């Protein structure tokens, strides 16, 4: 359910961006999802595919998800470490960290659009 709402938001953002830039078709949307963001990539893919098929701009668009690892910074050790099971505790000195470096983000990186630089193809499609 969370993923469905999320896919809807992504599609709304991409659609409005496409409209703003005068793009008629988006091929690929690149998304960065932190492993600790609570988003299930597979469920999001499924929800996106379903909703994108209903959108003229995003029909057949692909969602490419890049998962970033959950990492935190240990101040005493001055090193980054992997956060396991949401416990941001340094494996070397055992200190708890409050500085999360990555893994909680959710962000649209970019999108690939269909090249629309040929007047001819534009005319043809208008007649369909």
Q: Which residues bind Zn ion (CB under 5 A)?
A: 74, 76-77, 90, 92-93, 95
Judged by CB, which is closer to Zn ion: 50, or 93?
A: 93
Give whichever of 27 and 99 is closer to Zn ion, judged by the CB atom. Answer: 99
- To Zn ion, the closest distance from the beta carbon of 90 in angstroms equals 3
Q: CB 88 → Zn ion: shortest distance, Å? A: 11
Residues 6 or more apart whose CB falls under 8 angstroms from that of 23 comprise 17, 57, 113, 114, 116
Q: Which is nearer to Zn ion, 13 or 92 (by Cβ)?
A: 92
The structure tokens 């209903």 sit at 54
- Shortest Å, Cβ 95 to Zn ion: 5
Cα angle for residues 75, 80, 84 (degrees, 5° grid): 110
Q: Where are the alpha helices (DSSP H) in the chain?
A: 2-20, 41-52, 119-126
């Amino acid at each position: 359910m969370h993923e469905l709402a999320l896919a809807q938001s992504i599609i709304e953002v991409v659609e409005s961006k496409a409209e703003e830039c005068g793009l008629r078709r988006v091929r690929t949307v690149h998304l960065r999802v932190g492993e600790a963001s609570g988003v299930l990539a597979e469920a999001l893919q499924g929800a996106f595919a379903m909703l994108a098929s209903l959108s003229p701009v995003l029909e057949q668009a692909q969602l490419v998800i890049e998962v970033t690892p959950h990492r935190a910074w240990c101040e005493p050790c001055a090193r980054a470490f992997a956060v396991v099971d949401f416990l941001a505790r340094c494996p070397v000195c055992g200190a708890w960290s409050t500085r999360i470096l990555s893994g909680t983000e959710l962000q649209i990186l970019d999108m690939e659009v269909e090249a629309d630089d040929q007047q001819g193809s534009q005319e043809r499609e208008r007649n369909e």
